[in-house]
Amino acid sequence: MTQILSAFAVYFIIWWTVLFIVLPIGLRTQADEKDVVLGTVESAPAKFRGGRVVLLTSIFSALIYAAWYVSSTYFGFSMNSLPRIVPDFGRT
């Protein structure tokens, strides 16, 4: 059960990060469409396609998660494999 929750947590973090990458893709603002609705800013989306954003985010996140899973499970890559770039001030 812990492995499933951990896998879901990693996927959720990846999904949330990818969401902010996918949001501006294909975005047309009201200024681009030259149809600014009174009371809104020009940079507001003309047509927000939430379903498309969620679908693209889910697909890209699944691909990134699969790459992470394969690299950690089959190739033994982990966070400990990364070089330490912060000095350890605890050791003297």
Q: Where are the domains of the chain?
A: 2-76
pLDDT of residue 83 exceeding 90: no
What residues does 45 pair with on adjacent strands? 29
Pair of tokens at residue 70: 């394969």
Please write the tens of the pLDDT for every residue from 32-46. Answer: 888 888 998 998 888
Decide: 56 and 22 in contact? Cβ < 8 Å.
Answer: yes
Pair of tokens at residue 23: 């949001």
**Residue linked to tokens 């609705």:** 37
What residues does 29 pair with on adjacent strands? 45
Question: For residue 92, what pLDDT is reported?
Answer: 59
Indicate the pTM of the whole model.
0.74
Taken in order 67, 72, 73, 74, is the CA torsion positive or negative? positive
**Residue linked to tokens 């499970």:** 73
